[in-house]
Amino acid sequence: MAINFYDSIPSLFLLWLKKKQYRIKIKITVHVADFNNEDIIMKIIVTGGAGFIGSNFIFYEMKAHPEDTIICIDSLTYAGNLSTLEPVMKNDHFRFYRTDIRDRDAIYRIFEDEKPDIVVNFAAESHVDRSIENPTIFLETNIIGTSVLMDACRKYGIRRYHQVSTDEVYGDLPLDRPDLFFHEDTPIHTSSPYSTSKASADLLVMAYHRTYGLPVTISRCSNNYGPYQFPEKLIPLMIANALADKPLPVYGEGKNVRDWLYVEDHCKAIDLIIRKAGDGETYNIGGHNEMANIDIVKLICDYLDKPYSLIKHVEDRKGHDQRYAIDPTKIHNDLGWLPETKFADGIKKTIQWYLDNKKWWEDIISGDYMNYYEKMYGNRKVLS
């Protein structure tokens, strides 16, 4: 049967249109890939992954995105505990480097070998009381370490550098103004050497974005609680002491207020930011869970059936911040994030975790965890 040229015009046109659409589709895909890290298999460097939030983040990511590969960089300071990462150590999608983020040569070597897509920087000196005793290491790790990581990102290229920061960069709010909250544009106004070092790092991150066009994001989260928190911070310290019937040292009157967030909710927020947020954005993360310290300590006593007589009011922390309170509206509106764990449930889960995992924190208190690396990895080949 002969085909009339004019009869075939509509189908030729359709074919042309289809091809055009196909081309348009390809174009759109490339465009989206440039601005969106969702649905892409990625290699993610997580610094400070042997610490509290970093380890929880690694567990969260490896479950939520098993196709991605996590490269953990941690120098294992007193706060890093490699035994925490034992469940993922043999996973093909996980590698561990015992490296200091201040060590430029070693960091560059890792970037050269691993070619990461994303860096999430949790590594930091994180305890306010220690910063009051010895600020220098806070400046070195939290500021210089951050700049080394970002220099590596500039040199080797990166899709996203994410800085894990804190609400403490905003200073504090008065106790008698419950209507006030920290917003992303609240001026930076720090109190302790710790918060000052974190604020300095944030400023540096924004400077690298503006000066070098580095694709960065920052998150500023309120106080976290949950599994694997080092027992020098309020909640695990009080649980450990209460279980041993030791005094519970409350600073001053215990009226200072913190805005508590379950650690997994923090991890979910960071996961959303690194995959969906635009370059140069800063997000506050918090769950509107404000509690006075003394009420938390009493709650822990109640749960463990311990008397309040264990509570001892001790000399206040120098420069003690009164109240932290986050307004998380921006991350909710932009990325749809909402905290999922209510404080009443989260604190029960946390206390239960410390009851079920006594060896983890007893080894810390006895100092045994420090020998773990040598025992498990002393004779193994070091990756860098």
Active site residue 184: no
Between 19 and 318, CB nearer to ligand TYD = 318
- Whether the CB-CB separation of 97 and 384 falls below 8 Å is answered with yes
Within 10 angstroms of residue 137's Cβ, the number of other Cβ atoms is 15
Residue 250 near ligand TYD by CB under 6 A: yes
- Segment 193-222, which members bind ligand NAD (CB under 6 A)? 198, 221
- Please choose, out of 3-11, 44-52, 236-244, 296-304, the segment that lies near ligand NAD by the rule CB under 6 A: 44-52
Active site residue 372: no
Residue 85 near ligand TYD by CB under 6 A: no
Print the binding letters for residues 207-226 with ligand TYD: x by CB under 6 A, - otherwise: ----------------x---
The catalytically annotated residue of 61, 114, 168, 172 is: 168
Residue 126 near ligand NAD by CB under 6 A: yes
Q: CA-to-CA distance for 301 and 248, rounded, in angstroms?
A: 10
Within 10 angstroms of residue 177's Cβ, the number of other Cβ atoms is 11
Q: What angle do CA 37, 43, 44 make, to 5 degrees?
A: 80
* Count of residues that bind ligand NAD according to CB under 6 A: 30
281 binds, among ligand TYD, ligand NAD, none (CB under 5 to 8 A by kind): none
DSSP 288: S
128 binds, among ligand NAD, ligand TYD, none (CB under 5 to 8 A by kind): ligand TYD
258 binds, among ligand TYD, ligand NAD, none (CB under 5 to 8 A by kind): ligand TYD
Residue with tokens 């922390």: 317
Within 10 angstroms of residue 268's Cβ, the number of other Cβ atoms is 20
3-state secondary structure 110-160: HHHHHCCCEEEECCCCCCHHHHHHCCHHHHHHHHHHHHHHHHHHHHHCCCE
CA distances from 166 to 173, 257, 339 (A): 15, 15, 17
Contact residues for ligand NAD, defined by CB under 6 A: 47-48, 50-54, 74-77, 79-80, 100-102, 122-126, 141, 145, 164, 166, 198, 221, 223-224, 230
Contact residues for ligand TYD, defined by CB under 6 A: 128, 223, 233-234, 237, 249-251, 256, 258, 293, 317
